[in-house]
Chain A
Amino acid sequence: MTIFGDVARWFADPAHWQGSHGIPVRVLEHLELSGLAVAIALVIAVPVALYLGHTGRGGFIAINLANIGRALPSLALIGLGLAIAIPLGLGLGFWPTMFALVPLAIPPIMTNTFVAIREVDRDVVDAARGMGLKESEILGTIEIPLGLPLMFGGIGTAAVNVVATATLGAIVAGGALGRFIVDGLALQEYDQLVAGALLVALLAIVTEVAFTALARASAPPGMTVSR
């Protein structure tokens, strides 16, 4: 039980809240890293998935992409990120982590967005087309609104995975919350170790809860009401 005492003391120490190695800075770094990776993944994956989903093409790839993504070990991604960043002269820390996080975030976003669009009742789409809506209008006013919950589910999955793997960035001299864990392991400073783990765990849980709530809130009214 002493570990909890140590951790509490670690959090109570004001020194840990200041400066470029302090908790707030690390949290921000983590958020920046994760947010940027997810944003880039969104820009890449969503348009492709929307197109494929609406036209019904490329289903095999889009669906199996999630399986492929799951098979990518996170440490391997970090390592590969490093292997790409160094020859490009991009140094340690930020870029290797980015090269790992973006490919990690793409599969869940792409697969879920694709499936979300595909799952929209084809009869509804057909009726819309028959009434004279343009393809882009169908996508924008029907398919996307109906598919939002699933899409947010996919983005949430990507976000949580990214938050988790961003901690590993500390291995390639990155900052963020992983720093506390990696340093804690190296220096056998278990208070720092557990404190860092707590912060990361909290961030991940908050991310998951936030996106779950977002997914639920985005369900169009009228779809969730029952007689």
Chain B
Amino acid sequence: MTPGEPLIRWDWIASHAGEISLRIGEHLELTVIAVVVGLVIAFGLAFVALRLPALSAPITGTAGILYTIPSLALFAFLVPHTGLSVLTAEIGLVSYTLLILIRNIISGIRGVPSDVRDAALGMGYTTRQILWRIELPLALAVIFAGIRVATITTIGLVTVTALIGQGGLGYFILLGIQLFFSTPLLAGALGSIAFAVVADGALVLVQRALTPWTRLR
């Protein structure tokens, strides 16, 4: 960042290739765990909300509060209890996925057209069969949209975990900031952005494969 210095020193990147790939792996791991755990919890909570509509508002409300609290603040609340650990990071990251996932699961299942449900019941599907063969597949499109957003957001938030000892590619951003060194900073920043874009693209492809009926007209 000092004038005269090139923005990216490729020799630095080459010599740190090992650490870079380690951090990419860390980034991936933190993201995947957060989204998967978030999905499991969100499904559970969403079904509770669907079965007991009275609980629907408190559940989404709590998830909403967790989502509104800035990530750094949430991690800060956790640090005195769970330290500078992966657990702290994951608790925070998972909390951020909950709102969007719960909302999308609920709206996905509620969004199944009533005539489709009526026809299925009238033809002799049991309620469980309706759930697994009709409601969930049709809800999948909406749920998957939620998974996409949750994943992208999580990839971004993982960078913040650099401040509590994790970080993935955020580690390099922090390093660059602290050392006024543009190479790792740009490598980390652009790398995490690229990661998000690639992940989004991949998930779109998966969504198209899982829900072929949504892209016709």
Q: Which residues of A contact B (CB under 8 A)?
A: 3, 67, 70-80, 82-83, 86-87, 160, 163-165, 167-168, 171-172, 178, 181-182, 184-185, 190, 193-194, 196-198, 200-201, 204-205, 208
Contact = CB atoms under 8 A, between A and B. Distances in A.
B79 A185 contact: yes
A76 B173 CA distance: 7
Given A167-B70, A181-B76, A194-B77, A72 B193 contact: yes
Contacts of A71: 152, 155-156, 193, 196-197, 200
B80 A164 contact: no
Nearest to B3: A87
Nearest to A165: B70
B69 A201 contact: yes
Nearest to B196: A71
A171 B163 contact: yes
B170 interface: yes
Chain B interface size, as a band, is 35 or more
A83 B153 CA distance: 23
A75 B193 contact: no
B180 A86 contact: yes
Interface stretch (B133-141, B183-191, B206-214): B183-191
8 contacts: A71-B152, A71-B200, A72-B196, A75-B170, A75-B174, A79-B174, A185-B164, A208-B68
- A interface: dominant SS: helix
Given A75-B170, A87-B1, A193 B79 contact: yes
A184 B76 contact: yes
Contacts of A208: 68
A76 B80 contact: no
Contacts of B155: 71, 73
B156 A72 contact: yes
Given A178-B72, A184-B76, A190-B80, A79 B200 contact: no
Contact of B160 (A3, A75, A204): A75
B149 interface: yes
Given A83-B1, A171-B174, A171-B177, A200 B73 contact: yes
A43 B68 CA distance: 25
Nearest to B72: A167
A76 B174 contact: no
B176 interface: yes
A59 B126 CA distance: 43
Nearest to A3: B80
Contact of A78 (B1, B68, B73, B177): B177
B72 A200 contact: yes
B139 to A, nearest CB: 21
A87 B2 CA distance: 7
A81 B148 CA distance: 26
Contacts of A3: 80-81
B74 interface: yes
B97 interface: no
Given A71-B193, A80-B189, A197-B74, A204 B68 contact: yes
B33 interface: no
B159 A76 contact: yes
Contacts of A76: 156, 159, 170, 173, 188-190, 192-193
